[in-house]
Structure 1
Amino acid sequence: MEYQAKYITDDIKLSCYQDQFFKSDILFEHHMLIWFISGETKIVRPEATYFFKKGDIFLIPRNQLATIINYPKDGLPHQTVVMHLTTERLRKFYDQLLIKPVTGYIPSIKHYSNHPLLESCLSSLIPYFNMNNIPKDIAHLKITEAVTILRTIDPEIDHVLANFEEPGKIDLADYMEKNFMFNMPLEKFSYLTGRSLTTFKRDFKKIFEITPQRWLTKKRLDLAHYQFAEKKKKPIDVCYEVGFENLSHFSYAFKKQFGYAPTDLLSA
């Protein structure tokens, strides 16, 4: 994978992937506002699978697990402008406002297709990526502009951006049933369910009567079997969507679990 990035500041970058595709299971520390210049992205979340292309603008909320798959398209690389809306900046922005976010609000990916105000804001950053002397306050000004536009066009965005709470202790079984397909370290799962790693492992064993890793592998393979049998998806797509990182390892694990290869199931 050939990856290149140009930065205006740590919070604003021009991201470019040149190769066939890039895949990662990600937990973003900060909200990410992304504008597509070229290429395509598939984002797998528990509630839906999202597809984004040239001209699209979307926001990925922080502390949400997602599988990101980036593709070049039409001979052009996968290229995006990415703006990190950090908690520190957002706190300063909302300190001046009397906003009370709705408690228990579960954020999903926000899609702002070809919106002229946001596109104007983000496209205006392009010249700065080729400058050596960046104006001192440009990141603050552009992020403030972007957040102001988001608040103008999306009445629910304050429930996302003004919520600074960290994950609290939640129903472990329900969370894992919805998020098992994301290939994350157990430390991340424990953090997102409001537990220490030791407590997470103890609670997990009590609920499922099996170790987390064995349970995760079985759940991912069961989902893969369903995707082949009912959806007729390709092995390369299913492999990455259910939480595996390597196609050969996935095929080996699938055959070990079910006694036949994915291609055998598809041909049948």
Structure 2
Amino acid sequence: MSANKQAKQISYSCYHTRTKEGEQFVAEHVFSYQLAGTLTMNDGEREYVFRENEFRFSRRNTLMKFTKQPPAGGDYKNISVFLDQETLRRFGEAYGYSAEKAAAGPPFITLQPHALLKSYMDSLQPYDQFLQAGNEVLLSLKVQEAIAILLQTNPQLKDILFDLSEPGKIDLEGFMNSNFHFNVPLDRFAYLTGRSLSTFKRDFERTFSTPPGKWLQQKRLQEAYYRIKEKGAAPSDVYLDVGFEDLSHFSFAFKKMYGAAPSKI
């Protein structure tokens, strides 16, 4: 494994006295510790709030929106360990672990405090040392240590960690109606519904009688119109929530569809 890829396996986040919002596709399992501030995540169905000194486990292949809120007069700080599929496969083969059943459950799990979890995260705080050339073996061992500690303290995670299968083909209509507001590429939607991109586009037009790009924009604008007109939301508070990247693009598309700028509705 290259040093560049290994450096990405441990991530330290620090934001200075400002709130950061956005969205993310969680591609790999993540073991995290909230050092300071509050992280709020929403998977489209419910909201999850993680506060200072809390541990969490995020499942792979999850779409989520987030808000990172620093504490009063301080910095937002978080440290995360990414548990990639190749490392988990090698770990399972070496120590005899495999998934015995499909593990249902929420995409984000609060882990109960434990001395092993805390001592492990404390050992990662000289973060810069892990990024220095020559520390690739140490970094790899720290990720394996994270897997071992999670299995020791939360054995119920075994069937999640070692389920190395790809997403299976699921109901397209239900998934898209629940997740249209996530601003991700079509190939990501295709992957999450268990399809190739070409099959996704073909199934989509068969289901919705319109191309996915056009449907997504119309659906997002309809949701924005409802929130602005019926709920009194401000356009600047809506455009990111419904899946647009910037306010100017949102305003242009909105006016083209409804004949008036969102601020005039």
Smaller-chain TM-score range?
A: 0.7 to 0.9
Q: Deviations over 1:87-117 (max 9, x none)?
A: 1111122222353342373651112265543
Q: Deviations over 1:31-82 (max 9, x none)?
A: 1222222333332212212233322322221111222333444233332212
Could you tell me which residue of structure 1 aligns to residue 143 of structure 2? 143
Alignment of 1:1-268 (within 5 A): 9-18=7-16, 20-95=18-93, 96-103=95-102, 105=104, 108-112=107-111, 114-130=113-129, 137-228=137-228, 235-258=235-258
Between the aligned partners of 1:113 and 1:98, the Cα distance in structure 2 is 23
Query: What is the one-letter code of the residue matched to 1:25?
Result: E
Q: Structure 1: which 5+ runs fail to align?
A: 1-6
Query: Structure 1 residues 194, 55: CA separation in 2 closer, same or farther (over 3 Å shift)?
Result: same
Q: Secondary structure at the match of 2:80?
A: strand
What percent identity do the matched residue pairs reach? 36
Q: Deviations over 1:156-215 (max 9, x none)?
A: 312211110112322211221221111111111112222222221111111101121221
Between the aligned partners of 2:112 and 2:103, the Cα distance in structure 1 is 27
Q: Deviations over 1:110-151 (max 9, x none)?
A: 122655432321122112425757766433443233223322
Query: Structure 1 residues 117, 231: CA separation in 2 closer, same or farther (over 3 Å shift)?
Result: farther
Farther off after superposition, 215-224 or 169-178 = 215-224
Query: Structure 1 residues 235, 148: CA separation in 2 closer, same or farther (over 3 Å shift)?
Result: farther
Query: What is the one-letter code of the residue matched to 1:176?
Result: M
Q: Is the 8 A contact 1:105 1:159 kept in 2?
A: no
Query: What is the one-letter code of the residue matched to 1:163?
Result: D
Query: What is the one-letter code of the residue matched to 1:122?
Result: M
Q: Is the 8 A contact 2:114 2:153 kept in 1?
A: no
Q: TM-score, normalised by structure 2?
A: 0.81
Farther off after superposition, 180-189 or 170-179 = 170-179
Between the aligned partners of 1:155 and 1:74, the Cα distance in structure 2 is 36
Query: Structure 1 residues 101, 248: CA separation in 2 closer, same or farther (over 3 Å shift)?
Result: farther
Q: Deviations over 1:192-250 (max 9, x none)?
A: 22222222111111110112122112222333345456766554443222212213433
Q: Is the 8 A contact 1:32 1:82 kept in 2?
A: yes
Query: Structure 1 residues 239, 53: CA separation in 2 closer, same or farther (over 3 Å shift)?
Result: farther
Between the aligned partners of 2:66 and 2:100, the Cα distance in structure 1 is 28
Query: What is the one-letter code of the residue matched to 1:126?
Result: Q
In angstroms, what is the RMSD of aligned CA positions? 3.2
Query: Structure 1 residues 113, 220: CA separation in 2 closer, same or farther (over 3 Å shift)?
Result: farther
Count of paired positions = 260
Q: Is the 8 A contact 2:97 2:162 kept in 1?
A: no
Segments ≥4 residues shifted beyond 6 Å: none
Q: Is the 8 A contact 2:6 2:140 kept in 1?
A: no
Q: Secondary structure at the match of 1:159?
A: helix
Q: Is the 8 A contact 1:17 1:79 kept in 2?
A: yes
Q: Is the 8 A contact 1:55 1:113 kept in 2?
A: no
Cα displacement (A) at 1:155: 4.3
Q: Is the 8 A contact 1:128 1:134 kept in 2?
A: no
Between the aligned partners of 2:213 and 2:122, the Cα distance in structure 1 is 44
Q: Is the 8 A contact 1:44 1:241 kept in 2?
A: no
Q: TM-score, normalised by structure 1?
A: 0.80
Between the aligned partners of 1:83 and 1:264, the Cα distance in structure 2 is 46
